[in-house]
Amino acid sequence: MKPYQKIPILECGEPLTPIPLAHFAAQTPHAYEKLHAPYGKLSPYYLRETVLENLIQAQNQLQLTHANWRILIFDAYRPVAVQQFMVDYTFAELVSDRQLNLDELSETQIEELWQQVYQFWAVPSLDPATPPPHSTGAAIDVTLVDENGNLVNMGSEIDEISPKSFPDYFANSNEFPEQEYHAHRQLLFEVMRSANFQQHPNEWWHFSYGDQMWAWLSQQQQPNQRFTAQYGRI
Ligand SMILES: C[C@@H](N)C(=O)N[C@H](C)C(=O)O
Ligand SMILES: [Zn+2]
């Protein structure tokens, strides 16, 4: 169990609401729908109402300094079945990218591969006390596009299983373009923080508001206050 999963959830009952995609940028088809992840009748482009309001606020903040830049929504709501599918898919990709043969791996080697997956993906838990962050409608994976609609280069792909995904990976570089990647990550971080989101410590693209991870990170930053999560699995 990760430490943030110990945070109590006091579900506030706020509904999921569709993200007005025309207001933001988004890729179609959605990355996980393209892989045939099992959404059924559900859509990834939903968020809790207040989370969506905060996201709109973040984009307004971005446009104060970067006219016509937009937040690109890579992923938002994710049913637990999709979380399970993506965790299994990521494990299989890791095995195939590294040209490994599962039958030849020891239990320890297999366990190490799973640990790498779970460094970046939440466990697809069905326990209401430990929901995967995206299954609460309070977490979002985002990047930026510029005024011409081009992806802003963050120095690594969303969902990459590598240290390059850590938000500060390029922070101490004196080289170009690494310094620029860091500046872009900082811009994303600052606009999201200005709208009360917290950033996943291992992922430059993952932010949330009001879920267990948000409460846990807020608690670290303000130890004198008591934080709980207001969004559970929905
Ligand atoms: C890996 C990424 N897409 C992601 O969403 N990670 C978080 C931690 C999650 O699985 O909830
Ligand atoms: Zn995420």
Give the alpha-carbon dihedral of 171, 174, 176, 177, to 10 degrees.
-10
| Nearest Cα to Cα of residue 95 among 103, 31, 124 | 103
Ligand at shortest distance from the CA of 201: 1
Q: What is the atom index within ligand 1 of the atom nearest the CA of 87?
A: 10
Tell me which residue of 166, 224, 232 sits closest to 199, measured CA to CA. Answer: 166
- Ligand 1 binding pocket (C-beta < 6 A) is 120-122, 132-134, 139, 141, 159, 200, 203, 206
Q: Is 203 a catalytic residue?
A: yes
Residues of the chain with pLDDT below 50 are: none
pLDDT at 204: 99
Backbone angle region of 155, left / alpha / beta, with phi > 0 → left and psi within -120 to 50 → alpha: left
Residues 8 and 227: beta-carbon distance below 8 Å: no
pLDDT (tens digit, 9 = 90+) per residue, 147-160?
999 999 999 999 99
ipTM of the complex: 0.99
CA of 141 to the centre of ligand 2 (A): 5
The pLDDT, as a whole number, for residue 35 is 98
Q: How far apart are CA 158 and CA 172, in angstroms?
A: 21
Q: Which residue has the tokens 């990355």?
A: 31
Mutational pocket test of ligand 1: of 86, 88, 134, the residue with most ligand atoms within 8 Å of the beta carbon: 134
Angle at 24 between CA 192 and CA 140, to 5 degrees: 45
Distance 98 CA to ligand 2 centre (A): 24
Ligand 2 center–CA 11 separation, angstroms: 20
pLDDT tens string 63-87 = 999 999 999 999 999 999 999 999 9
> Tokens in use for 132?
């995967």
Q: How far apart are CA 199 and CA 113, in angstroms?
A: 24
User: What is the predicted pLDDT for the residue at 89?
Assistant: 98
